[in-house]
Structure 1
Amino acid sequence: MTSSIRRSRRTVTRAAIALAITAGTTAALTGPASAHPVAGTVTVAPLVKGLYQSSYSERNNVLWTTSAVGRPPVVASALLKVDPKTLKVKQTVTPPVTDAATGALEAVYGVAVDDEHNTVWTTNTRNNTVAVYSQRTGEHLATLPNVGHAREIVVDERHDTVWASAFTDGSLVAFDSKTLKEKQRITVTGSGPTGLVVNERTGTAYAADLNGDQVIEVTAKSATPRLIPAGDGPISIALSKNGRTAYTANQTGGDLSVIDLRKGLVTKSVATGAGALSVADDDRTGNVVVVNRTAATATVVDPGKGTVVRTVTTGANPNHVTVTNGTAYVVDKSGAGADGADQIHSFRVTR
């Protein structure tokens, strides 16, 4: 169950991070509508306003998605349990209130499931925290502090570890998934870690460093990180099934980098589209999917050949992709659904 920047560009990329968090300032969440096929190959369904990320639970056969709307105080946010086949919402979980006077919520952004402990973890970016919920009941179990601008989160079930990226701290923070206690913190001065992935076989964690145009590698046996060159503005990262290759979606470059982790170098760069923002691998085919926010597309890439297999048009501002069982799930921030709801798209990685 697998999941140094040039000074002239630092302001641009950090602004892009802020844009991704503040996009969509309308206040109310909306309800789901029925999924419908598009061009015979893509299924689309509106969910709610303010979609950010998704994560698949094999144990429960559901997708967990996050949403948050507007600038602080954020009063509309939800953790949704979605049927991966029908794309209908099965349960809506509202995060706890953090300020009774304003109604501000502990808004959720990043998400990852822990099927071993039947929990779901979120990053609460505005609050500089991460949170843990029960997958069974939706109960809020804990809020864990001191993760500056917590962006993404990934679960290593085999080693009972959950990693979170602290963008403004330049840190990767590890928590014990059983005790919910912080157990490790690795800081790379000047870095801006964003996307995360973990090799559960080895326990090695990898982060895309948006500031440094590199990948930060942290092994289970060393607290000293290894820094591996990546593309221009890496913001999301995935691993091949065998764990030997990393893939980064490069926001500034609009491309995918294929990185040989043993050699520590980029072996291929594949243009995917403007604003490449999220990447996920497909264990079944070995292909990877990149969503391109500015281009409003999802690109399927054969990383071995370094070629584009297929380009899928999505709603405006696709924000995140999850691939499971050969199907890609893309959430957008298009506002194209009823009452301005954002959408989820599903399509087979191969036709």
Structure 2
Amino acid sequence: MSQSRTTIGRRVLLAAAISATCALTPAGLANAAPVAQVHARQAAYTVDSAELGQGLYQVAYSARNNVLWVTSSVGFPPVTQSQLLKVDPRTLTVKAAYTPPVTDAATGAREAVYGVAVDDEHNTVWTTNTVDNSLAVYSQSTGEHLASLPGVEHARDVVVDARRNLAWATGLMDGSVVAFDTRTYREKRRIKVAGAAPAGLAVDERTGTVYAADLTNGQLIEVSASSDQPRLIPAGKGSIDVSLSADGLTAYTANQGSGTVSVIDLQAGTVRREIATGAGALAVATDHCTGNVFVANRVSGTTTVVDPRRGTVVADLATGANTDHVVMVRGTAYVVDKAAAGAQAMDSIHRIRTTG
């Protein structure tokens, strides 16, 4: 009886915490200045868009500073044009831009940034420097480049477990999932799965369990806080990104190969259902306010809103050619594309909000 009451109590507290969080919005958003354009309304959603720069890749949000961090890198190695952008979530304008250091004086190549995650506990930003097989750490206050961390082959994604002072990254080319100490920047753990290509990451901070989407094998790589023996869970064809439900019991994978999102029961280790979203599903994020899932579809140039419990599509919103990444911020989605539109071939950021 006491165990049942404890379990119920925990669920009630969790529900209350989620409800309180969802009642908030990024600071000042309700009184935000108008952005460049409002170009789409569908179902109960409005999409605001603004051009940011060239070569956008990923976006992350800092609650501590109420800013978005966006990575941009242009062209192929040697990459000479790259910036870490500090963006106002209210106006969708660039507040500051920081340029990564030069790594090769002869070619002008820079430590180009691609993946991004925020560590609000230590007021830093972590990036993956894919072509340099490394990670980097920047100060959120000043944009100062604090450290370069080599040894992650084709570093693709990074996620921060603030409770355990860990930053996890994926090595796409050698099947590795690597953890670094967010205080000392030293490597703490390294797990390899032969024949895997780990890409997108998610972490359950309550348990410390990390999930990496395996692009090659259509599965999730689950790494617990207590074991270096990973558990492999079926996902979808070309699973490239992963997000978790609010309670951490369900995972959602964006499946690039099939243009779908998989709904995965993590306890059972099975796929409950697979829902069509759009060609080239590339990134996924969970709205913990509603339970809906947002999927960025690169080829179709849309962001699809899915109700994973019913297995239905709620909305399919235009978010620019080559829609690349999505992050959720208390019920609001921010999406970046690689549309290369306009006279200066600019890429855009899109803000998706409910109108109800």
What is the TM-score with the length of structure 2 in the denominator? 0.88
SS in 2 for 1:289: strand
1:87 maps to 92
* Superposed CA offset, 1:51-88 (max 9, x none): 00000000000000000000111110000000011000
> Percent of aligned positions with the same letter in both sequences?
63
1:39 has 2:44 as partner: no
- Alpha-carbon displacement from aligned partner over 1:232-275 (angstroms, at most 9, x marks no partner): 11000000010000000000110000000000000011100111
Task: Tell me, yes or no, if structure 1 residue 48 matches structure 2 residue 53.
Answer: yes
Long gaps (5+) in structure 2: 1-16, 19-33
* Cα distance change of structure 1 residues 349 and 198 upon mapping to structure 2, 3 Å threshold: farther
Q: Deviations over 1:176-228 (max 9, x none)?
A: 00111000000000000000000000000000000111000000011100000
- 1:208 aligned residue: 213
Give distance in 2, aligned partners of 1:91 and 1:277.
27
Are 2:35 and 2:48, in contact at CA under 8 Å, matched by a contact in 1? Answer: no
AA at the equivalent of 1:61: N
1:59 correspondence with 2:59: no
- Cα distance between partner residues in 1 of 2:37 and 2:177: 39
Alignment map for 1:272-291 (pairs within 5 Å): 272-291=277-296
Matches within 5 A, 1:254-265: 254-265=259-270
- Taking the aligned partners of 1:200 and 1:179, their CA distance within structure 2 comes to 20
Instruction: For 1:8-19, list aligned pairs within 5 A.
Output: none
Tell me the distance in 1 between the aligned counterparts of 2:310 and 2:35: 38
| CA–CA distance in structure 1, aligned partners of residues 209 and 202 of structure 2 | 9
Indicate whether 1:221 and 2:222 are aligned: no
1:88-127 correspondence to structure 2 within 5 Å: 88-127=93-132
1:295 aligns with 2:300: yes
Mapping of 1:177-256 within 5 angstroms? Answer: 177-256=182-261
Contact residue 46 and residue 337 of structure 1 kept, 8 A: no
- What residue is the counterpart of 2:8 in the other structure? none
**From 169, 174, 198, the counterpart of 2:174:** 169
Offset of residue 350 of structure 1: 6.5
Contact 1:326–1:350 under 8 Å retained in 2: no
Bigger mean CA offset, 334-343 vs 68-77: 334-343
TM-fit CA distance, 1:102: 1.4
What is the CA–CA distance in structure 2 between the aligned matches of 1:349 and 1:96, rounded to whole Å?
40
Question: Structure 1 residue 70 and structure 2 residue 70: aligned?
Answer: no
CA distance in 2, matches of 1:101, 1:78: 20
- TM-score in terms of structure 1 length: 0.90
CA RMSD in angstroms comes to 1.5
Give per-residue Cα distances to partners, 1:26-66, cap 9 Å, x unaligned: xxxxxxx9521113521110011100000000000000000
Residues 60 and 116 in structure 2, CA contact (< 8 A), matched pair in contact too: yes
Say whether the 8 Å CA contact 1:287–1:300 is kept in structure 2.
yes
**Following the alignment from structure 1 to structure 2, what is the Cα–Cα distance between the partners of residues 171 and 184?**
10
CA distance in 1, matches of 2:340, 2:258: 26
Partner AA of 1:232 in structure 2: K
| Mapped contact 1:56–1:63 kept (Cα < 8 A) | yes
Amino acid at match of 1:340: A
Instruction: Indicate how the Cα distance of structure 1 residues 337 and 84 shifts in structure 2: closer, same or farther if over 3 A, else same.
Output: farther
Q: Which moved more, 1:335-344 or 1:239-248?
A: 335-344
Aligned amino acid, residue 114 of structure 1: D
Q: Residues of 2 paired with 1:38 and 1:322: CA distance?
A: 20
CA distance in 2, matches of 1:136, 1:312: 34
CA contact (8 A) 2:291 2:307 kept: yes
Are 2:321 and 1:316 equivalent residues in the alignment?
Answer: yes
Q: For residues 207 and 352 of structure 2, what CA distance do their matches in structure 1 show?
A: 31
Shift in Å, 1:325 = 1.4
Say if 2:37 and 2:50, in contact at 8 Å, map to a contact too.
Answer: yes
Runs of 4+ with deviation above 3 angstroms: none
Distance (whole Å) between structure 1 residues aligned to residue 58 and residue 342 of structure 2: 17
Does residue 332 of structure 2 align to residue 327 of structure 1? yes
5 Å-filtered alignment, 1:120-139, equals 120-139=125-144
**Structure 2 CA distance for partners of 1:350 and 1:39, relative to 1, 3 Å:** closer
- Structure number with greater Rg is 2
Instruction: Give, in whole Å, the separation in 2 of the partners of 1:95 and 1:188.
Output: 31
The aligned length equals 321
Q: 1:338 to 1:46 in 2, by over 3 A?
A: farther
Question: Counterpart of 2:131 in 1: which secondary structure?
Answer: helix
